[in-house]
Amino acid sequence: MLLDINAYIGHWPFKRLRYNTCASLLERMNEFGVDVSVKQPEWHLLQKHTVIE
């Protein structure tokens, strides 16, 4: 079983990405023999984080 933990779906505001839709991700996974991919939301990377003490 081949696992991809660096999957991305959606638009990135700073760079145009290829293969950023579910259909294109599945096509790419099949091309390279990937069985499972893990997707996490990236919106938190662009949010202002504050520490409350």
Q: Supply the DSSP string of 6-51, one letter for each residue.
A: ----S-BTTB--SS-SHHHHHHHHHHHT--EE-----GGGGSPP--
Contact in structure between 41 and 9 (CB atoms under 8 Å) = no
Q: 5-39 pLDDT, tens per residue? A: 888 787 777 788 888 888 998 999 999 999 998 87
Q: What is residue 20's predicted lDDT score, i.e. its pLDDT?
A: 83
Q: What is residue 36's predicted lDDT score, i.e. its pLDDT?
A: 92
Q: Tell me how far apart the alpha carbons of residues 11 and 21 are, in angstroms, rounded to a whole number.
A: 9
Contact in structure between 26 and 17 (CB atoms under 8 Å) = no
Q: What is residue 18's predicted lDDT score, i.e. its pLDDT?
A: 84
Q: 39-51 pLDDT, tens per residue? A: 776 666 666 666 6
Contact in structure between 11 and 43 (CB atoms under 8 Å) = no
